[in-house]
Structure 1
Amino acid sequence: MGNEQVAARLGAVYPELPPGERAVVRVLLDDYPYAALGSLRALAERAGVSPPTASRLFDRLGFGGFADFQSAVRADARLQDRSRLHEFVAAAGEPAEERTGEPTEEPTEEPARAGHTGRDSLRGPAGVLGAAEDLRRGLDVTLEAVTGPLVTTVAALLAESRSVWALGGPLSELAAEYLVRQLAGLRSGAHRVPESPSARARALLDVGPSDLVVAYDFRRYSPGTARFVLAARERGARLVLVTDAWESPLAPEAHALVRLPREAAGPIAPLTHEIAVTELLLVATASRLAPAARLADLDALTHALTRPE
């Protein structure tokens, strides 16, 4: 089992694990593969669990123990590869020695500065093709990480909940808006969470145990998103959380956790991947509904409201 396969396996089993073993997986994926190369005790301490708890994870994964797990990680020839974000910087011609400390691999929801991509080599045709390939590869890995059972679970929640409320951060709110616009064509009761605290409070008055919140939360995680989600959870609502490899603090609250893998990282927030995963979930949701009549009504109403006088 190679390095990428080990990481994919960790991500795939994560939703099924008990809390202690989830903590170990979070540490491993947060600093992969290097977190796997120390001692079992050091890994357990970083995860805040006991060594036996950490050891049970590797037994569950089918390894003969922690040493076998480490061997599988080391087996990949790309073990010494630098982080993807560091590669973007290096491709732009910035010497690695001039970087301070280790690469952060920290995707943010902050927009890139106008006219700056974080990769000067994009100015040439070869650079554009390389960036396109990076995006395509990241998209493939992202979609592979969203397993069939997870898609089925989320689609059932989107189709069967009384109401669906979606929200996101400074950029991921675009994915939330897309989800609501498309879902509203498939079923009633799809809402964007409003922006102001007072409007959010009024929305929460109507949230209950039959409702679903879909939150897009990426590093650096949004305090406003967390406040609304926690308030909705107190009122019994269920949560679908779409987050990154580093994992939002809201993860323990999620009924279904969609983690975009580390390969989705780059010099700007990977909105393409968020939209692609949202599309996948919407297609699965549509298959559980009978939206033909509703969509036909929507087309007719849209035509009636937009035709010239």
Structure 2
Amino acid sequence: MTRLKIDADGTDVLQGMTYNVFETGQGRIVKRFITVEGQQEFLIPEYNYSAKNPVYIIVNGVEVVPESIETGKITLTNPLSSGIEVVCIAYGNPAMKRDGCLDTPYEGCSNYHHPYAALKHKDTYFFSLNHAPETCTVLGVKLKRLIVNIKAGDDVTTEIRNALGFQRDKFVIHEGIVYLPYQYNGFPAVIGYNANINGVNKRTVETVIVESTCVRLNDRLFPNVNLRRGEFFGLLYNLLSNLHNRYTDTKLELNPSPQRNIADGASLDSKWYAKQVRTLFDEKFMDGCYVFPLYADDKFEGQECMTRAEAVTYLNRFIEWVTEKYR
């Protein structure tokens, strides 16, 4: 479900929850080592052992199981030869805060930007379709080059942030600076690019560490976090959008003038899911009955959490309705 896309625009059917705050002593850690001959132990002073924040060990791009993991130290099963890349990653244990009916992850900074690094030959870097393609590999994962059209006067950070967004498989190079997805903050990346080196246009490859002081992570499902009613109906609308597209080959349009009165509509209209909710609540079965009932006093109360019973009831009515609508 988390990887399903809306046919019309390619966005996620189920939107993730963003965060960048972690429990004290259980933050995200990425530590890169280049081994010396016979090295078997790797010191990570900032790591506190916790089952909620395990460490993953990548040796030359391959995940391995260590002999032991302790606070501040990782020990591998066998000594390694010199010159081998070892990356230790702890993804962190997100902190949660109470927000109405939810215990939810949250963000502690808002001036976020994608992790980046200046290339060694930044000043003579050039992009050309007539030369070897640019490449980016992170721990064996190949990313795709995203071309961002940045015009004079544009804010580079903003344009790249908007273009790259939460995409996980893209990278950007602009004026000799490489930008990677948020989840790769602190990771080593192998970059292949073109530059004029000693008067010769040539391709070169180097490893950089991309970093950002504030990222906006969106890489977890948080299965134990409850869902607000409004978010649930946003999900239903996204599912309906895909079904409509596949059965009719046309894009689903929001209802521009829904007729049904929702008593707390004024508070609803300030939410991102307002138009989707109003569109769905205006739908009727063929017998003229509304598909989705409102709550007491004809209110929706979109910020309230849903029970499992409510979710099952609404899903059942949704399935019954779309079956009738598209049969």
TM-score normalised by length of structure 2:
0.25
Max radius of gyration: which structure? 2
TM-score normalised by length of structure 1:
0.26
Structure (1/2) with the larger strand percentage: 2
Structure (1/2) with the larger helix percentage: 1
Which structure has more relative contact order (CA 8 Å, sep 6+)? It is 1
